[in-house]
Chain A
């Protein structure tokens, strides 16, 4: 048997032998652990996982092969009041490749050292969905200082991928290890991902030609979500295994999905993927309904436009991301609803049938994690897009959102890279780059001596913002949309002559034009008016209030906001003090703020505030800069101009 390793990060192998004792045996607790009242490495932790020990092996009973995964976990609780009991839940895969839970043992070591066996009437197995079940453990007499340990085995006949092991958990982990034992009849590829070298990495080939690999990490911090990130899983140390080859006795070795090329061939061959767009009978009703719309001589993009809007109006998104279709495309069309696979494979099917070069692209959504390109595991993807090749260009297509312009994607799909499904030697990964989203306010306004502003506004938006607004306008109407989304700080604002342009012309910017009357925008005191000229802006408060941050910041989109108004002053007032113009640029042009306030005439001003965030990823080291940047945006958006009666 063989194991081959693919390592995405530079990983220095730790060759020192791990000689010391790695963890305590079942039921055996060291005096230090017994006495521990707080976890020294993380004093705010409500509990710590003292050890998390996994072992996976392939076995046979003479009839069949199966995978056995054994897990032992020990948790010490310091503060029961804030301990999340779901840390004691065991998740079990259900359905076709389901697992069987067996040999579960739970015991509770009380602070005084008494060991209580937790009996089965405290365990509850629940079926959650078609895909998984969970076992909940309710430990009697749980208290501060309790230690709980449990062990169980999961058995499954699904050999293709072994149990995914995550080293980091929601709680801090003192020691986590996974041992995998592979029989000589199999070869697995594995992908190990860790920011730092493993503390234990032991690989042994045994005399019977089987092999074991043990990976261990010590002192892992607790991991909690933060705003503006993709998913925690992208940062958790992890190892996954996928079957690459079998060595049947007395037969030739058999390759199982070892390359992207082979992976592509296999999935294209599936009834619930490739066959859906290759076999016309799977999408015949769609095609019959669509075909009459085709006109000879149209450009590929014109056809794509028609196909996407036809699919959008024919199959509504049911809220699920999927790589494989539920039934066939005709069925989704009949139901008028389907997953991302049903919808976007329908786009592929119609484009291909119309004679164009279109293929599916597999993607992983932001909350599903970053896929690895040297890791031909189909399971890392959870959704699919369509791609049209025309000339030497390609355009990605997504028909899951009714208000998405052609070539733009649902926001969760902007997650770096995607894999076009083509059976070629070179895996042609493509960049999936979020288009900048922007908002422009343009106003022509007049202030009166009571602090009321009247005038006209045009607001233009593109990309994600436009899509969101179109959706809101279609649900609430333009009037309600403005009330809820414009000048929120001024609940007295009244709007008239509201006009929306390009609500349905998705490829053009969305424009909302209106007249407004906004009382009490400014403080009128004695002979002074303190005027706040920025009535609305993209940033209402600093999104980064937290003083500390654990993970890099990732914005879904680069964005730009621009507020430009001309403002006529009330008769008899002069500008007493005007805020200074400012231009602030982040290092590497990653973001900028431009603010200016100028006199156009004696009685009118032009005020401009622009901000740009031109990249999506900000490493941790730039967090403080980013935080200050938004503070400054906020400050500028609250600028005041001092007017005085002449």
Chain B
């Protein structure tokens, strides 16, 4: 976009606000290209972030969105968070009908306030909600908000639009003293800011104009809905009396390191306890193991969302006394235990979540983290300190395979947690099935799982006693059972592995019809990933959940039955994985051997159909059956 166009937009935005009393936001002003695939249209999204001090910011937001049908109704509700350092100056809204006629202006009494937090959490956060959902589609809501944040702040990334939403005009303005230093990066956009300097202050303005709606597709190559986005990273920040240079990851890490320095000292009694626990051990790994176990069996996780942005950890002595803490406090406490045993470790900032994490950029370093783990450099070990169950060194899909920031005495280091490979996520059934003439099956199975495939079973074993476990297990099976004879789960103490042994009987496992029995071969453990048909895929395909299944299933026929037909051996291989199915037929039984490997996928949209077809082919093979026929 050139300079001249930019100015026109600025003028246009301003004039929109000044037209009071006249029709605003009529639907007729939306170009038809912006209605395509859209559930809502951003008419104006204009955010001004005004930097007052390094630890004070004022946010002014105007957000007007046309809601085309009730699929986007939630946008008629606006929420603002509040806490001891975030205040809302005003929150107001207006509703316009399709013709742009003002229907209603919000009143103070329309704002509802909610507080409270999860069951194992304490926070001083509150939410103010202004609900202007209106029952006449299409309609437009316009919200105006002003917030003030004192204390530490981060500028959240500016999402220009969500998926399924088009944009008429959006603008992000950063207003700060001339000397204010920051870095920025546009994601999926080439826009550059316009700079206006007036009396010692500068306003940087990024404008985004006429963007069509993007489809909400499965397995996109970016995190959640973060598509067109602007990341702003201030070069300097301040929390209470701490100021920090945030111009690169090393300095950011240094800041957080210093903020938490000296909080890892144990009491003399606890130091003695560490010595006692590690007494006679010469190997660091053994010491880590015993201390990690000590943490896991004696402490519990409680989320604590108070204090300065939740960045400074509670002192190790706090956890020592309470035996509970949040992720920072427990990680810091573990660090203290290790330190007492002479083992150095680093607190590590991470964005946790099983659906991935936002990308972090060198050119615009902004600490988008929500969790803390611990890294032990000498052993290259990662510790999740909020889990009472994980084996030492196991992260799981909550924190694996993403950028994290190590807080070392030499500053921050941006590294990646290990990616989990398909051979590390194994599911392995060794199963024998005995059929009777009615299709009932007596099933004996030994299920071995590792990595991301094992979490569920470890969790069950740790949390549930037998009756509850049996109930959960019954629900989880892909077929109906009548009786559980054996059910036992063993979770390996040292490795992310479990073995589940079970013996059950399933009345309709195979189906009887006349003189035939139809026997599903892989009902124990079928492949289940289905990609929806999509002839117009737009985004690249990015799939990170990978695994290997390898199963041996022996099926014993009832007397007097022989095979009429059975699916033949098959091998499929592709860039996305491989599949091999083979069958060994004997007089009274068959043995099915199936090996399936699902690899990570990172391909352009044009290959979506290929990926989909590969999964369909596997699913079809996994539906294979043997047809038995009685000889009477």
Contacts and interface: CB of A to CB of B under 8 A. Distances in A.
B119 A85 contact: yes
B256 interface: no
B565 A142 contact: no
A547 B466 contact: no
Interface stretch (A272-280, A332-340, A427-435, A442-450): A332-340
B515 interface: yes
B138 to A, nearest CB: 13
A642 B120 contact: no
Contact of A80 (B71, B300, B470, B477): B300
Contacts of A46: 465
A546 B474 contact: yes
A136 B122 CA distance: 8
B293 interface: no
A396 B466 CA distance: 48
Interface in A605-646: 631, 634-635, 638-640, 642
B483 A547 contact: yes
A525 B521 CA distance: 15
A518 to B, nearest CB: 13
Contact of A44 (B136, B465, B481): B465
A16 interface: no
B70 interface: yes
Contacts of B113: 127, 129-130
For A129, A134, A141, the residue with the greatest tally of chain B CB atoms inside 10 Å of its CB is A141
Contacts of A134: 116
B480 interface: yes
Interface string B312-334: 00000000011110000000000
A546 B471 contact: yes
A635 B112 contact: no
B116 A635 contact: no
Contact of B116 (A85, A126, A492): A126
Interface residues of A, number: 63
B70 A337 contact: no
A238 to B, nearest CB: 23
Nearest to B482: A547
A579 interface: yes
A329 interface: no
Contact of B103 (A45, A336, A530): A336
A27 interface: no
Contacts of B627: 525, 528, 530, 642
Nearest to B121: A136
Nearest to A547: B474
Given A126-B117, A142-B300, A318-B131, A638 B511 contact: yes
Nearest to B71: A475
A580 interface: yes
A577 B515 contact: yes
B532 A483 contact: yes
A138 interface: yes
Given A140-B324, A545-B480, A126 B122 contact: yes
A142 B323 contact: yes
Contacts of A80: 300
Interface residues of B, number: 68
A114 to B, nearest CB: 14
B115 to A, nearest CB: 4
A348 B389 CA distance: 58
A143 interface: yes
Nearest to B322: A140
A316 interface: yes
Given A528-B564, A631-B508, A44 B464 contact: yes
Given A334-B104, A640-B513, A475 B70 contact: yes
A416 interface: no
A546 B515 CA distance: 31
B419 interface: no
B96 to A, nearest CB: 12
A525 B104 contact: no
Contact of B507 (A313, A631, A638): A631
A313 B117 contact: no
A36 interface: no
A126 B113 CA distance: 12
A525 B126 CA distance: 64
B581 interface: no
Contact of A523 (B484, B511, B533, B625): B625
Interface in B467-498: 467-468, 470-471, 474-475, 477, 480-484
B210 to A, nearest CB: 25
B134 interface: yes
Given A80-B300, A140-B322, A638-B511, A126 B482 contact: no
Contact of B565 (A89, A335, A525, A577): A525
Contacts of A126: 115-117, 122-123
Contacts of B131: 318, 337
A253 interface: no
A547 B533 CA distance: 37
A140 B321 contact: yes
Nearest to B504: A547
A335 B134 contact: yes
Interface in B320-363: 321-324
Nearest to A129: B114
For B69, B471, B480, B625, the residue with the greatest tally of chain A CB atoms inside 10 Å of its CB is B480
B324 A318 contact: no
Nearest to A88: B119
A334 B511 CA distance: 60
B603 interface: no
A315 B298 CA distance: 55
A86 B477 contact: no
A578 B480 CA distance: 25
Contacts of B484: 547
B533 A491 contact: yes
Contacts of B565: 523, 525-526, 528, 530
B136 A336 contact: yes
Interface of A: 43-46, 79-82, 84-86, 89, 122, 124, 126-130, 134, 136, 138, 140-143, 313-316, 318, 334-337, 474-475, 483, 491-492, 520, 523, 525-526, 528, 530, 541-542, 545-548, 577-580, 631, 634-635, 638-640, 642
10 contacts: A79-B465, A89-B119, A142-B300, A142-B324, A316-B133, A336-B103, A525-B627, A542-B480, A577-B514, A642-B516
Closest 4 CB pairs of A and B: A316-B135, A44-B465, A128-B116, A86-B119
Given A475-B71, A580-B514, 18 more contacts: A44-B466, A44-B468, A79-B465, A80-B300, A122-B322, A127-B116, A140-B322, A142-B300, A475-B69, A491-B530, A491-B532, A491-B533, A492-B616, A528-B565, A530-B627, A542-B480, A546-B471, A579-B514
